[in-house]
Homo-oligomer: A and B are copies of this chain.
Amino acid sequence: MKIKDIAQLAGVGISTVSRVLNNYPDVNKETRERVLKIIEDHNYTPNDSARLLKLNDNNDNIGIVVEGVYNEFFAEMERVISTFVGKTNYTLIINHDNKHDEDKIKKFKSLLSFINTKKLKGLVYLGGNYESIPQDLFNQIPCKIVFLNTILPSKSTAFNYSSVGIDNYLSGYTQMEYLLKKGHKYIGIIISDFKDSGVGKLRFKGYTDALKNYNIEFCEDYIIEGHYNYEYTYNQTLECLRNHSKITAICSSSDAMSIGALRAVHDRGLTAGKDIDLISFDGMDIVKFCIPSITTFIQPRREIALSGIELLIELIETGIDNYQIIKDVVFCKLESC
């Protein structure tokens, strides 16, 4: 079924059918109804490619790239964005990137190709690290772009991007400081991975700098790699506690990992919040219902997601550029610390 067939069946020209299709006002009422009836009866849907080809870049595609959608944290942000876009006239094209190990430059080039192929008007990028992308490559991005929770080149006017996120370094520092102020000296640190090059890296820098400022020696043996995985974190924490009975507190860079750690503490016969202070980061909804509930720093992730997509649409529609938003984290004192 194409527009020509509908036109023939209705006994009109194809322009008229097109006008009906696009809700143009200048069509005779009866003609319109006749055409609509035939469209309905034959379940006709216009060919999108043909429309877009003609309309050229008049599509309204927004892209979203998620690095690490297996992290529930990002998954939730994606849902917020997808729901928001669903209520607009934009179409969201989703690109889940799981190639963490790939060369950054190569990765950036495939990002460019994604934008070009889909003729995106704008893009939201979740996660990742584009700290060291050459400026000329960066500025080849042919559409509006908003990075959420991404590590970016230190801002200079030469780099053209917008972003929404938190101050990861400062948050990490504050989190660790909370334990230090309570007098802890032997503190386990849960990170995703030594090779983590995303925001976790900044948080970790905050941890170690806080230790330094409080004259507590940083001990590599107290590092627990959790890979954002319950089981893995559970096993690593169990082993760390077994080998280092001095440890009196745990500083975890993500709630997902804290849940595995909490169980490890329990299985060592200890109680978090009493025998061991566990302080976490992210503020997932579940922490409040864990036993004991987990003290954490809430990243306003829904707010970041929402600001991000709203900002992107504003950038697209106004032509403005270069807008940076920093959100505050919120301390949430519960039972584990």
Question: Is A17 in the interface zone, CB < 8 Å from B?
Answer: no
Chain B residues whose CB sits within 8 angstroms of the CB of A43 once the complex forms: 112, 116, 140
The complex is assembled from copies of this chain, and their number is 2
Q: Are A98 and B83 in contact (CB under 8 A)?
A: yes
Q: Is the CB of B291 within 8 A of A291?
A: yes
Partner of A53, one of B47, B86, B140: B47
* A79 and B72 contact, CB distance less than 8 A: no
A320 on interface, CB distance cutoff 8 Å:
no
In the complex, are the beta carbons of A79 and B50 less than 8 A apart?
no
Q: Chain B residues near A69 (CB, 8 Å)?
A: 79, 82
Task: Produce 1/0 per residue, A234-247, CB < 8 A to B.
Answer: 10000000000000
A46 to B119, CA, bound (A): 10
Q: Is A199 an interface residue (CB 8 A)?
A: no
- Interchain nearest-CB distance for A25 vs B (Å): 23
Complex Cα gap A289–B94 (Å): 32
- List the one stretch of A158-166, A174-182, A256-264 in contact with chain B: A256-264
C-alpha gap A93/B118 in the complex (Å): 12
Least CB distance, A269 to chain B, in whole angstroms: 13
Q: How many residues of A contact B (CB 8 A)?
A: 44
Q: Which residues of B contact A96 (CB under 8 A)?
A: 79, 82-83, 86
Q: Is residue A285 contacting chain B, with contact meaning CB distance below 8 A?
A: yes
Determine whether A113 belongs to the interface, using a CB cutoff of 8 Å to chain B: yes
A185 within 8 A of B: no
Q: Which residue in chain B gives the minimum CB-CB distance to A142?
A: B43
Q: Which residues of B contact A45 (CB under 8 A)?
A: 113, 116-117
What's the Cα separation between A234 and B293 when bound, in Å?
Answer: 13
Within A279-308, the residues touching B (CB, 8 Å) are 285-286, 288-291, 293
Shortest Cβ gap from A34 to chain B (Å): 21
Which residue of chain B lies nearest to A289 when distances are taken between CB atoms in the complex?
B263
B234 adjacent to A289 (CB under 8 Å): yes
Residue-wise, chain A 38-59 has the 8 Å CB interface mask toward B (1 for contact) of 0000010111111011000000
A96 to B48, CA, bound (A): 20
Whether B234 pairs with A262 at a CB distance below 8 angstroms is no
A266 located at the interface, meaning its Cβ lies under 8 Å from any Cβ of chain B in the complex = yes
Q: Which A residues lie at the B interface, using CB under 8 A? A: 43, 45-50, 52-53, 69-70, 72, 75, 79, 82-83, 86, 92-94, 96, 98, 112-113, 116-119, 140, 230-231, 234, 259-260, 262-263, 266, 285-286, 288-291, 293
| 3 closest cross-chain pairs (CB), A and B | A45-B116, A49-B52, A263-B289
A-B contact pairs, 18 of them (CB 8 A): A45-B116, A47-B53, A49-B119, A50-B53, A53-B53, A70-B79, A72-B72, A79-B96, A83-B98, A86-B96, A93-B93, A230-B289, A231-B285, A231-B288, A262-B291, A263-B290, A263-B291, A263-B293
